[in-house]
Structure 1
């Protein structure tokens, strides 16, 4: 994948990582060993969306984060990684026949390409992008964009607990660090009522979609996967070699069998050296993976 997370290795990594989802807050404290924590969230505390406020009960969310960081020494603020729900951020993959080297020209071109397709004003949005080199002069550019106010509300609950959210990403973008397949692969990640489908080819992200499910059943989950498989064959000129599942919990094996039968590709569960990849921690485990064993502990 885009090894954008690798840049954290060049400096001392943040002491804490937090992944926020509709159902829980998951935390990791770097050390030997890494210490993990989890606090469930009651319905209505957090509702991911790129077009409206996500943090509906900031005091409750801040209290759960405080409970996870009770052992943190007071006084000095500590750096933290903040991993947002996929559904709170728009992620797009733009393909360019040629991409300028100048950062100002890059940003201008990216903004021009995405401006008309967003459900919010780009001028009041936080935007970041990563260039994935492609053969020849081509470039695939991964863009993450969401309203500034959405990010600010998430950051505020960390700041209330003496944490500085110096690096922000999304759950799936971080979880892609766990994918260890260089061919054409599809990651199917479930988090509560949201399904995120990603396509990777040769380690490069080619497509990412986040969908809200009506109900958790094979028919609902398969619905976006059929066109995804067709996209891979028609647009990328190859068949999917592997499908990876994350966040399906106790039903993972049942979905694995259904997907193999219906989609005609090998299906396996996404793995991490730190433990099971669940609906609430896939991004957190991906962040730890990006640091390497020496940094994470």
Structure 2
């Protein structure tokens, strides 16, 4: 699928030479050469606290120090371009369907803002919003738009340490949106992704995003995860008319294979670990792996 872009400020330039994925646990980083060089730097527990409503970066100076230590300044006065991959729970992502969709971008934005206004618990006028129209694939007028929105204050607080460290973060997305690049482009698939206390579920049908949910877990158990997957499976059967081919799991560590086996027995579709060309995507770097995979299309 084409990777949805959140707040993209450039679209035709070459990809940035640096990419960073942020989480409460740390910073996953890559220099996007061939082959890319990946690393991970742990953060203290109270540097980032992910929320869709309030400041996420609680200790910006500490985060700045970590960014500077991770990629020291190169002596150039020119800003280094970077992609930032934000936590799933920091950004509201949804799929809106339209029977018809205007061709004028300003009319598109007005329509999307109207639809979103009552569904988010913050002021859209002070929010960053990006959308990605997806044609229905059948030649009709129906459009499903992937919409990503977050309070602007949350976005700017994530960007600030990188700007201070000499980066230009001109390309932003979320971890799960980027990780969708690792799923097959054909067929019906479900991404089941865990990052700390957040479970993200995404349904991809023939490369088109149909459903996206980021859920704060009350407790990390197989039963709770399955409890969120049951309504997702029901949605797929009801709205898409078939069962998913595969569940792709990421972020469960040593529990991955036992959880795959248990989910297969409970739900039916094949369950398997998410994979990537540059190593196994983990709890805190799946988006980075997906982003690197997307560069093959650039």
Report the TM range for the smaller structure's normalisation: over 0.9
Superposed CA deviations along residues 127-176 of structure 1, whole A, max 9, x for unmatched, are 00000111211111000000000000000011111001001110011111
Superposed CA deviations along residues 52-82 of structure 1, whole A, max 9, x for unmatched, are 0000011111122112102744432100001
Q: Are the equivalent residues in 2 in contact too, given 1:81–1:167 (CA < 8 A)?
A: yes
Q: Are the equivalent residues in 2 in contact too, given 1:9–1:291 (CA < 8 A)?
A: no
Where does residue 128 of structure 1 map in the other structure? Answer: 130
Q: Are the equivalent residues in 2 in contact too, given 1:2–1:130 (CA < 8 A)?
A: no
Q: Are the equivalent residues in 1 in contact too, given 2:94–2:146 (CA < 8 A)?
A: yes
1:205 to 203, 209, 215: 209
> What's the offset of the Cα at 1:111?
0.5
CA distance in 1, matches of 2:286, 2:239: 28
Distance 1:72 1:276, change over 3 A: farther
Superposed CA deviations along residues 2-57 of structure 1, whole A, max 9, x for unmatched, are 4446x988422101000001111000012233111211112111011111000001
Where does residue 158 of structure 2 map in the other structure? Answer: 154
Structure 1 runs, 4 residues or longer, greater than 6 Å off: none
Tell me whether 72-81 or 243-252 shows the greater mean CA deviation: 72-81
Q: Secondary structure at the match of 2:210?
A: strand
Query: Normalization by structure 1: what TM-score?
Result: 0.95
Q: Are the equivalent residues in 2 in contact too, given 1:247–1:280 (CA < 8 A)?
A: yes
Query: Normalization by structure 2: what TM-score?
Result: 0.94
Q: Are the equivalent residues in 1 in contact too, given 2:3–2:177 (CA < 8 A)?
A: no
Where does residue 233 of structure 1 map in the other structure? Answer: 237
CA distance in 1, matches of 2:276, 2:249: 12
Distance 1:71 1:162, change over 3 A: closer
CA distance in 1, matches of 2:234, 2:228: 10
Q: Secondary structure at the match of 2:117?
A: helix
2:59 to 26, 38, 57: 57
CA distance in 1, matches of 2:4, 2:149: 16
CA distance in 2, matches of 1:56, 1:78: 25
CA distance in 2, matches of 1:83, 1:192: 16
Where does residue 285 of structure 1 map in the other structure? Answer: 289
CA distance in 2, matches of 1:137, 1:9: 25
Tell me whether 44-53 or 62-71 shows the greater mean CA deviation: 62-71
Residue correspondences, number: 293
Mapping for residues 1-297 of structure 1, pairs under 5 Å: 1-4=1-4, 10-70=12-72, 72-134=74-136, 135=138, 136-292=140-296
Distance 1:181 1:256, change over 3 A: farther
Q: Secondary structure at the match of 1:168?
A: strand
Greater fraction helix? 1
Q: Are the equivalent residues in 2 in contact too, given 1:85–1:171 (CA < 8 A)?
A: yes
Q: Secondary structure at the match of 1:173?
A: helix
CA distance in 1, matches of 2:2, 2:115: 20
Q: Are the equivalent residues in 2 in contact too, given 1:246–1:282 (CA < 8 A)?
A: yes
Q: Are the equivalent residues in 1 in contact too, given 2:4–2:146 (CA < 8 A)?
A: no
Unaligned runs of 5+ in 1: none
CA distance in 1, matches of 2:125, 2:11: 32
